[in-house]
Structure formats: structure tokens, C-alpha cells
Amino acid sequence: MREKIVILFGQQVMQTLIIFIHLGLLKLFLGGTEVDYQLVNDPPQSSTNEWSGLIGDTFRYLQGAPWIPLTPILSFALVMFAVALMMEGYIRAASGYSYYGQKFKKNLDTSGKPVKNNVNKADFVRVKS
């Protein structure tokens, strides 16, 4: 049950990040929108400057200065990649596989029972006092 909850949580985080990106592109900012009601008005701007708001505010600069909107877009991509790696690592660890795809070995004695590794204080050597 725990594995399913972790996978579901990771999927929900990914979907939430995608929704944030889309809301930013539609100029529906999460932290609030500052609208200018003067005769010659400025476009709506994000009042909190969150990542999705930065994407929406700077998307018009994509042709002239692409590093401006691509910075928050790459930040979103990096967070999504990190969440995907965490989910994959948890799935592998829960199923008993290491990072390199090798199955974890269990210490068994001759009767087939798991061996407890006892650690004593005498097993350690003090290097510096």
C-alpha cells in the first residue's frame, strides 16, 4: 500500500506542476494578478513572481531573448525530472533492486534464516583523539 501511495503522490505532484505551467501561459497567476486600468494599460502581471507567473509574464520575449522565459521553464523541467527520479528510486528500493539494477543479497545462514549483523564497539578503531 505504501508504494502505491508514494507513486500516486509523485504523479499528483507532476500533474500539479503541469497545471501551474498552463495557468501561467493563460495569465491566470496563482499568487494574484496586477491589472492596470489606465487609458494605455500594461499587460497583466503576477504580483508574487512565482515560476508560473514568470513564464506567463515573459513568454512574449521568447523570440528576442529566449533565456528569459526558458529559465523558469527549465526550472520546472528540472523539478519534474527530480520527482520522476525520486519515484523511480523508491520503486527500485521497495522492490529490492539497487541503483545498478542488481538484486539486494540477503545474508542467510546454513539453515536458510536471515543472519543478524551484530556490530560491537570493538569493531571500530578510533583514528584521532
Q: What are the structural domain ranges in the chain?
A: 1-96
The conformation of residue 114, written as its DSSP 8-state character, comes to B
**Do 32 and 47 contact (CB within 8 A), yes or no?**
yes
Could you tell me if 4 and 87 are in contact, meaning their C-beta atoms sit under 8 angstroms apart? no
Note the pLDDT of residue 22: 93
Give the per-residue pLDDT at 107: 56
Mean pLDDT of 15-37: 88
Q: Which residue has the higher pLDDT, 103 or 9?
A: 9
Rounded CA separation 57/55 (Å): 6
Residue type, 44: P
Question: In the prediction, which pLDDT does 20 show?
Answer: 92
* pTM for the predicted model, two decimal places: 0.69
| Burial status of residue 17 (CB atoms within 10 A of its CB: 0-12, 13-18, 19 or more) | middle
Give the span between the Cα atoms of 111 and 119, in whole angstroms.
22
Per residue in 2-13, pLDDT (tens digit) is: 788 988 999 999
CA 24 – CA 35 distance, rounded (Å): 15
**Residue 17 contacts residue 76 (beta carbons within 8 Å):** yes
Which range is least confidently modeled, 59-73, 80-94, 98-112?
98-112
Kindly list the distances between the CA atom of residue 87 and the CA atoms of 9, 15, 83, in Å, as whole numbers in the listed order. 9, 14, 6
